[in-house]
Amino acid sequence: MKEQILKEFKQQFGDGGDIRCYFAPGRVNMIGEHTDYNGGHVFPCALTIGTYAAARKRKDRLLRFYSMNFEKLGVLNSSLDELKPDDAAGWTNYPKGVMWAFEEKGMNIPNGMDILLFGNIPNGSGLSSSASVEVVTGAILRDLFGFDVSNQDLALIGQFSENKFNGVNCGIMDQFAIAMGKAGHAIFLDTANLSFEYAPISLDGAKIVISCSNKKRGLGDSKYNERRSECETALAELKEKLSINSLGELTEEEFEANKNLIKDETRIRRARHAVTENQRTIQAVAALKANDLALFGKLMNASHVSLRDDYEVTGIELDTLVEEAWKIDGVIGSRMTGAGFGGCTVSIVKDEAVDTFIRQVGEAYEKKIGYKADFYVVEIGNGPEKL
């Protein structure tokens, strides 16, 4: 891949100078959905698919961007003196947002750059192509200009840029999973205080299969911010009696005993999901440590039901993928992953059932939805690296 992006870089921007190459992964969340902004736990892992980049410093303030995924757009020009969100800038708002965030944090970027990107994460799939672009941009800036920032800093800067520059009120999970990825492990992260541990994922005789619905969704214009606000209101209502800072602090029993404080049935359901999903995530990691993959799978299934019924973020596409997966022998667990309203599901499938899974789920999905789903058998990989 390095040769490919170098060749394309030289074609678009010319030869010469110190051209460097980088990679940042995508991520999939195994369990713990819509808990990250509710002070709960998440359990994501980095993937071996992600975003490749080639970059070179310039002597002026010009920024030139090219994406091999959006070839028709050609080279997009900007400047370090124009770091503000711009609808016309399209995908370049993500790397520009990170540059803006570095400067906001007191790290002055002295020179412009030529940057080429290529992602092999399906676009709009919910595997965090945007966070992958943010982290790879941070890795470029750190390396080219010698900024003293850790991988965890890259995650926080990426989230800051997405919140403040791109106006998407995302939690920390995506950037953290990508920046802190470790091969063969998922990250058990407490989003309330960023304490975390690596938990080995031992899928002896099974694979992780991502099913991409190919229903496009935009995070900013989806109901993501609405769900977040419903949870914030529910928390404020619970705080009238309880001294808590987040829904993630409650056990299921505490929630059930106090849910009547929440004045609206919909908000009760939203908060119930945040509380029960956090507990499921804690139980799921314990199950993995005990080598109980069957229990982990059951918790994945229960997570999807909660996201469908209480949080209402699944939709017919994701429900079809999951419900068809549940019918197949050899599927240990299956659930939607990511923000929802389209995007992907994640399933743990026994090796001998993978081909059947892809064929049967694919056929049933196309028959019901009218277009094809895509399937990816994925490996768990490391965080960002210089190639």
Q: Are strands 76-79 and 62-67 parallel, antiparallel or unpaired?
A: antiparallel
- Which amino acid belongs to residue 220? G
**Average of per-residue pLDDT values in the chain:** 93
Taking the C-alpha atoms of residue 72 and residue 55, their distance in angstroms, rounded to an integer, is 20
Q: Exactly one of 15, 18, 148, 174 is catalytic; name it.
A: 174
Average the pLDDT over 205-227 and give the result.
Answer: 80
| Per-residue pLDDT, 217 | 62
Identify the helix (H) or strand (E) that includes residue 113: strand 113-119
pLDDT beyond 90 at 208: yes
Average the pLDDT over 310-339 and give the result.
Answer: 96
From residue 316, alpha-carbon distances to 26, 215, 301 in Å are: 25, 10, 16
- Please give the model's pTM, rounded to 2 decimal places: 0.88
Q: Does residue 174 have an active-site annotation?
A: yes
Residue of 56, 64, 66, 68 lying closest to 80 (CA atoms): 64
Average the pLDDT over 60-80 and give the result.
Answer: 95
pLDDT beyond 70 at 219: no
Contact 376/212 with Cβ under 8 angstroms? yes
Taking the C-alpha atoms of residue 318 and residue 365, their distance in angstroms, rounded to an integer, is 10
- Which amino acid belongs to residue 170? C
Per-domain residue ranges of the chain: 2-34+46-184
pLDDT (tens digit per residue) in 97-140: 999 999 999 999 999 999 999 999 876 666 778 899 999 999 99
Lowest-confidence segment of 46-60, 203-217, 242-256, 307-321 by average pLDDT? 203-217
Taking the C-alpha atoms of residue 352 and residue 358, their distance in angstroms, rounded to an integer, is 12
| Per-residue pLDDT, 47 | 93
Average the pLDDT over 339-365 and give the result.
Answer: 95
Query: Of 3.20.20.60, 3.90.226.10, 3.30.930.10, 3.30.230.10, which CATH number belongs to 2-34+46-184?
Result: 3.30.230.10
pLDDT (tens digit per residue) in 271-288: 999 999 999 999 999 999
Determine the straight-line distance between the first and last CA of the chain, rounded to whole angstroms.
10
From residue 356, alpha-carbon distances to 344, 374, 375 in Å are: 19, 14, 12
Residue of 276, 260, 268, 258 lying closest to 234 (CA atoms): 268
Taking the C-alpha atoms of residue 367 and residue 59, their distance in angstroms, rounded to an integer, is 55
| Per-residue pLDDT, 278 | 97
| Per-residue pLDDT, 220 | 43
pLDDT (tens digit per residue) in 185-203: 999 999 889 899 999 888 8
| Per-residue pLDDT, 3 | 95
| Per-residue pLDDT, 361 | 98
Residues contacting 167, CB < 8 A, separation 6+: 85, 220
